[in-house]
Amino acid sequence: MNPRFTNRIAAVTGAGSGLGRATAIGLAQEGARLLLFDRDEKGLAATASECPGAVCVVGDAASAADVARAEATARRELGLVELLVPAAGILGPAKPAIELEEEEWDRLFAVNVKGPGLAARAFIPHMREIGHGAICMFSSTAGLSGSPFLSAYSASKGAVALLTRSMALNHAAERIRINCVCPGTINGPMSEASFALAGDSEARDARAATMRARIPAGRFGEPEEVAAAVLYLLSDAAGFTTGVALPVDGGRLA
Ligand SMILES: NC(=O)c1ccc[n+]([C@@H]2O[C@H](COP(=O)([O-])OP(=O)(O)OC[C@H]3O[C@@H](n4cnc5c(N)ncnc54)[C@H](O)[C@@H]3O)[C@@H](O)[C@H]2O)c1
């Protein structure tokens, strides 16, 4: 297959682990030049080691100042960013919504909802200068249907799906496409953390079995399978696709 992103500049937040890392590596393998952003310096360095020429910025995706620093670094060291993947996200506390502390609400929505909004605000001006661009946000199956285990997380990811659709309407005429993926349960640290919230190892295994039983494909997904969907949505092949929330979930929401 011909590389789809040769010399195109992409920014990925949450690039230090899991799905952001798999997306960054996939983009690098197809020729993109990358700005990688994460609060975890070590994780970022591990990803960068697989993405030749990548520029790293350590910071908080919920901080406008940190995101502005990433934007300025990208402009200075790489050029104009055409592709954006705001993947940074947190699970938040596994408590019923009525039990969340105010700071827990604030942090969850600051990272999961304000974060992609800040990233889009920082990089859409680059896309306007180029004359086109594409963003792929990270919602979740929990953003399209309710989650009994993670009600506030589910609400934050529902917000991402509608941020995606609304922003797609804002920017379609500027040739800036905005879509999101809605991963189901994907093997990696975040899913492990969500199972662990169930309690001891027996409860954790039971939670994992419950989650697996809901997936028609009979298995959890792999980060590379989500990255493949993200790369499609960013690619020219998806040139008439905007405002879409694409489940990547082994049929869970079918
Ligand atoms: N893994 C899944 O099963 C799954 C399912 C649905 C949706 N998602 C979503 O996919 C995205 C990626 O998840 P993942 O599985 O790769 O998780 P992960 O925990 O493996 O990686 C998340 C990365 O984001 C970084 N991060 C978190 N908060 C940050 C902040 N405030 N500033 C900067 N960096 C920050 C972390 O350091 C980490 O490197 C998230 O938005 C998540 O909600 C994941």
Which CATH number covers residue 32? 3.40.50.720
Of 119-133, 140-154, 194-208, give the range with the top mean pLDDT: 119-133
pLDDT tier at 125, thresholds 50, 70, 90: very high
Residue 175 lies inside a defined structural domain of this protein: yes
Would you tell me how many other CB atoms lie within 10 Å of the CB of residue 167? 21
State mean pLDDT over 145-160: 94
Tell me the average pLDDT across 12-28. 98
Q: For residue 153, indicate whether it is catalytic.
A: yes
Looking at the CA of residue 115, tell me the nearest atom of ligand 1: 31
* Pairs from 98-106 (Cβ < 8 Å, separation ≥ 24): 100/152, 104/152, 105/152
Residue 37: which pLDDT band, with cuts at 50, 70 and 90? very high
Name which of 137, 157, 139, 141 is nearest 214 in CA terms: 141
What is the per-residue pLDDT for 167?
Answer: 98
Residue 127 and residue 206 share a domain: no
At 63-107, the pLDDT tens digits run 999 999 999 999 999 999 999 999 999 999 888 899 999 999 999
Using one digit for the tens of pLDDT, what is the confidence trace for 39-59? 999 999 999 999 999 999 999
Note whether residue 254 is domain-resident.
no
Question: Which ligand 1 atom is at minimum distance from the Cα of 40?
Answer: 37
> Is residue 101, in this structure, part of any structural domain at all?
yes
Residue 4: inside a domain, yes or no?
no
Do the domain assignments include residue 56? Answer: yes
Q: Whose CA is nearest to atom 42 of ligand 1?
A: 89
The reply to whether 80 and 198 lie within a common domain is no
| pLDDT of 149 | 83
Six-digit token pair at 78?
Answer: 């790489």
Distance 212 CA to ligand 1 centre (A): 20
Contact criterion met (CB below 8 Å) for 223 and 183: no
Residues 6+ apart with CB under 8 A from 108: 90, 92, 100, 152, 153, 156
Find the mean pLDDT for residues 146-171.
Answer: 96
Whether 15 is in a domain gets the answer: yes
Q: Are residues 100 and 199 in the same domain?
A: no
Q: Count of domains in the chain? A: 2
In a 13 Å sphere around the CA of 253, the CA atoms on its Cβ side amount to 18
What is the extent of the structural domain holding 206?
A: 185-220
Task: Kindly calculate the radius of gyration of the chain based on its CA atoms and give it in whole angstroms.
Answer: 17
**pLDDT for the residue 3:** 95
Nearest to 90 by CA among 138, 58, 25, 27: 138
Write down the pLDDT at residue 97: 93
Q: What is the pLDDT of residue 148?
A: 83
Same-domain check for residues 194 and 233: no
Q: What is the pLDDT of residue 94?
A: 83
The pLDDT of residue 198: 87
Q: Give strand pairing partners of 26.
A: none
Mutate which of 17, 63, 85, 107 for ligand 1? The one with the most ligand atoms within 8 Å of its CB, which is 17
Please pick, among 153, 156, 179, 233, the residue that the annotation labels catalytic. 153
Tell me: do 215 and 226 sit in the same domain: no
In this structure, which residue's CA is closest to atom 25 in ligand 1? 14
* pTM (predicted TM-score): 0.98
Ligand 1 contacts (CB < 6 A) are 14, 16-20, 38-40, 43, 60-62, 87-90, 111, 138, 140, 183, 185-186, 188-191
Does 189 score more than 80 pLDDT? yes
Is the pLDDT at 113 greater than 80, yes or no?
A: yes
Q: Residue 217 above 90 pLDDT?
A: yes
Evaluate if residue 1 carries a pLDDT over 80. no
Residue-level pLDDT at 203? 92
Percentage of the chain with pLDDT > 70?
100
Q: Could you tell me the strand order of the sheet in which 33-38 lies? A: 55-58, 33-38, 9-13, 83-86, 133-138, 176-183, 245-248
- Both 34 and 92 in a single domain? yes
Q: Is residue 244 part of a domain?
A: yes
**Position 32 in a domain:** yes
